[in-house]
Every structure is written in C-alpha cells, then in structure tokens.
Amino acid sequence: AAGVIQSPRHLIKEKRETATLKCYPIPRHDTVYWYQQGPGQDPQFLISFYEKMQSDKGSIPDRFSAQQFSDYHSELNMSSLELGDSALYFCASSPDSGANVLTFGAGSRLTVL
C-alpha cells in the first residue's frame, strides 16, 4: 500500500538559509498535518491543511510557511533558519478530519549548522 512520502529525508543547511520540505499524502487523503520533533521531544503540531486550505495552526514560527497544492501534496518552507530549527519534521495525512487515523511519513531530518 502507498504510504506518505516525504522528501528530502535529510537536509543540512547553514544558519539564515532557507529550506523546503515536501510531503506527498496517501492517494485520496485530503488532509495533511505537519509536526516538528526536536531531539528527545514529543512531536509538536505546526499546521494542518484540508482541501488545500489551512485548517488549524499550532506552534509554527512566523519564519515558516506552508501550503497544500491542487494535487494535495504539501510543502513546508522555512526561512532564516536557526540552530533550534534542527529537528525531525513529520508529515501525516488522513482521508479527512473527524479524528480519523493519521498515517505518518518517515520524516525529514533537518540539521542547521
């Protein structure tokens, strides 16, 4: 069965640079969630999208933005990167909300030097 695909799997950037992470949900899943997980931390909710519209927002810094495209894939853009942005970034998708089961991708590991 198709899973949630995240790219790139690993990314190394310098401080103040920009990074873009991509998420391809399971086919026919129209809801996407982004999470940030620092070392030894629990995943923190950043933002979610339903049918290409932002549906809820968590602790996402103003330097970050995201969108969901017409094919339902989503991109998380991070600018003016800081050392503290180093983390695993997970994307998850579900058919819709109403507390459906989330399927998570394998994550993108961002390292900021």
Question: Using CB under 8 A as the criterion, which residues of the chain lie in contact with another protein when the complex forms?
Answer: 4, 31, 33, 35, 42-45, 48, 50, 55-56, 58, 88, 90, 92, 97-99, 101-107, 109
| Alpha-carbon gap, residue 68 to 72, rounded angstroms | 6
State in angstroms the smallest separation of the CB of 80 from another protein: 26
Of the two residues 24 and 33, which places its CB atom closer to another protein in the complex?
A: 33
State in angstroms the smallest separation of the CB of 36 from another protein: 11
Question: Within 10 A of 85 (CB to CB), how many other CB atoms are there?
Answer: 20
Nearest residue to 46 (alpha-carbon basis) of 16, 87, 82, 17: 87
State in angstroms the smallest separation of the CB of 109 from another protein: 8
Q: Do the Cβ atoms of 20 and 8 come closer than 8 Å? A: no
